[in-house]
Each structure stands twice: as C-alpha cells, then as structure tokens.
Amino acid sequence: MDPSNAGSSSTGPSSRWNPTKEQLSLLESLYEQGIRTPSAEQIQSITKRLQAYGHIEGKNVFYWFQNHKARQRQKQKMDQQQMMMCGAVSSNNALNNVVAVNNLNNVDNAAADGAYFNRFYYHSPPPISPSGVAAVAGCALPLLPGPHSGKSSHNQILIFI
Amino acid sequence: MDPSNAGSSSTGPSSRWNPTKEQLSLLESLYEQGIRTPSAEQIQSITKRLQAYGHIEGKNVFYWFQNHKARQRQKQKMDQQQMMMCGAVSSNNALNNVVAVNNLNNVDNAAADGAYFNRFYYHSPPPISPSGVAAVAGCALPLLPGPHSGKSSHNQILIFI
DNA sequence: GCAAATTAATGATTTATTCAAG
DNA sequence: CTTGAATAAATCATTAATTTGC
C-alpha cells in the first residue's frame, strides 16, 4: 500500500532518494549547461531549488552528478566501440539491450571543470538515536585546516548534508 | 630559517598534515588492532586523542586509514610476487630499494571490516572569507536522510571536520 | 658540513567498480 | 535493468629522506 510515498511522508521508508520528473529535468538541464562537478555553493543552490519539488539533500545532488558524469562517459565509450565494429549488424537488433543512446550532443568538454572538491562524511553503524530530524541540516564553516600563512593552497571548506 | 616548524607554529604553512611520531604510533596500533575503516564515532574519538599530540582533523584520520589499508594491501601483493620469483637472487641485493618490509603479521583479516562509510565535503573556490577559525569544528547531527520508518538501511550520519 | 637536486613516502583528490533498492 | 549509494583503486601533489657537488 501507499505506493505514492514520494517525498517526506510518514509511511514511505524509501531508503534512497528518488528524483521526481522535475528534479531530474532540472539536473539534466544543468548538466547539459556544462556543470559536471558543481561546487559546494552550486550544490547548495541546486538543492534548494530542487527541494521545491520534493525531499532532496545535497548529497543526492552530489551523487547524481558523479554518477551521471561517469555513466555518460562510459556510454560514449561503448558507442565508440560500437562505431568500431560498425557495418554488418546481424539480425534481430531489436532485442539488444536498451543501449540506444542518442548522444548527439557530446557534452564532454573535458576541460572547463576545474572544480576541485572533496567529500567527507560518515555513517555510523545502524543503531543510533531514532529521533526524527527530517530536514536538511546545513553546516558551513568558514575555513578550517590552514589558518596559517597562505601558501596558495586551497583550504576553504564548507560542509553540508 | 626556522627549520623546526613541526606542527602548529606560525611560520610553517605546511599545506598538508604531517603526523607526529606519537600520532603515527597510535594510528598504527589501532590499525593492527583490526581497525580498517573506522566509523564516524571512532574517527571522532581517535581524532580527539591525537589532537593531544598536535593539530589534526578528522579527515586526516579518515585519509590515513584509507591510504594505509590500500598500501598495506599492495605491499602484500608485491611481496607475493617476490615470493613467486624467489630463489636465485642475483648479486648485490644490498642496494635493493629499501623495500625490506617485514610483514610478519599479516594484518589482512579481509572479512570483519563490515564498516561502511562515505564521505562528502566540499572546498569552495579559493576566495572565501579569510577569517581565522583555527580549531576543529565538530558538527554532529543525529540523523538526516531517512526519518522514515526503518527499512533497515543505515542512514545515520555525522559530519565533522 | 650544507644546500641544491633527486628520489621515495604518503597525504589528498579523482575516477572506476561494485552493491543493492526500486 | 536502471541508478542511487558505497567502496576500492588509481592518480595527483607535497613533503621527508637521500644523494651529490662544493
């Protein structure tokens, strides 16, 4: 029952995030605009916008971009292989795995994503306080590792979940 | 000048963490006790203990365990290869690269590390508020993604830097 | 003895692979 | 079978050892 547990309802466990149509649409749109590894600020912004369409957290946006980038890449690679063994396709190609990707737009501008980032959060083992803090908890700290001089290293961090 | 900028002195920028003898010692000890991918709580605890010996953050502990685990693994692999082409060692083996690892204790109990984790934090692009929050900022949130029922998924998170 | 130049270790980042929910 | 999530492997970058010429 209750198959429509899309977002933050009470009954729907849904251990993993499931993007709504709108969310996915916006994400893909951003991806095609060239965003590959969004910065923290970008992710925060995106997340906020997507929260209008349902429950979502920063890490979902993060993972989505990671996976999408990787899988677009391997899709293209597979297409190249298919291109190699082109011609002479045998009989029933209708039952081929649904890998009918139409990569007309090679959104592969390999450069231009000089976005450096890093990640770092932890699950604890299963049994922890079962309270119910539902929403997203943002935790932004100004800077943390190197309050030293300024050896040009990039150190500012910003956490969010 | 000032060659002794080991830890949190003012002059030593040192863009990356450098473990002190004591820190390294404790870390290795814990590793040999079987800890391979410590949980958030463990990392917090370890970090606090190590902070007695100098500046260190949770992410350093995290990275240390990742790297150490991986590199122990590949050391053992290399040793296995050496074992394969054993016998008949040619002449001057004294000048061999200093890879004289004495892996008497194979700390490789491959199972028993059902520790799951994840990471997730971001740098922002270089120019950010140049204040000077020096110390470690802990940010522990009870749980965040799934306040839903309890589909056995492990969801509790806990951030720290 | 000491620095500049090289090499080896290792901290930090990025990419690829695997697991599992839907 | 798709894809979000989690883990491992590969890579990059910086620091410490070590070597070398003076």
**Residue A20: is its pLDDT beyond 50?**
yes
- What is the spatial distance between Cα A30 and Cα A38, in angstroms, rounded to a whole number? 10
DSSP A74: H
Which amino acid type is present at position B67? N
Q: Does B137 touch chain A (CB under 8 A)?
A: yes
Q: Which nucleotides of D are covered by protein (CB under 7 A)?
A: 1-10, 14-16, 18
pLDDT tens for A96-118 read 222 222 222 322 222 222 222 33
- The residue in chain B having the minimum alpha-carbon distance to the alpha carbon of residue A42 is B124
DSSP element (H, E) containing A31: helix A21-32
A107 vs B: CB within 8 A = no
Reported as a single tens digit per residue, the pLDDT across B111-155 is 222 222 334 443 333 322 232 222 222 322 222 232 222 222 222
Q: How confident is the model at residue A154 (pLDDT cuts 50, 70, 90)?
A: very low
* Cα separation, B82 vs B79, whole angstroms: 5
What part of B 29-88 touches A (C-beta under 8 Å)? 39-41, 43, 57-59, 62
Q: Is the pTM of this model over 0.85?
A: no
- Encode pLDDT of B27-61 as tens digits: 999 999 999 988 888 898 999 999 999 999 999 99
Check if the beta carbon of residue B149 is closer than 8 Å to that of residue B137. Answer: no
Contact between A90 and B4 under an 8 Å Cβ cutoff? The reply is no
Min Cα separation B57/chain A (Å)? 8
**DSSP single-letter state for residue A138:** E
CA distance A122 to B160: 9
Domain A21-84, CATH class in plain words? mainly alpha
Q: Which range has the worst mean pLDDT, B11-15, B67-71, B89-93?
A: B89-93
- How far apart (Å, rounded) are the C-alpha atoms in residues B94 and A155? 43
CA distance A51 to A23: 8
Element (DSSP H or E) covering residue B122:
strand B122-123
> Nearest 10 degrees: CA dihedral of B23, B25, B30, B32?
150
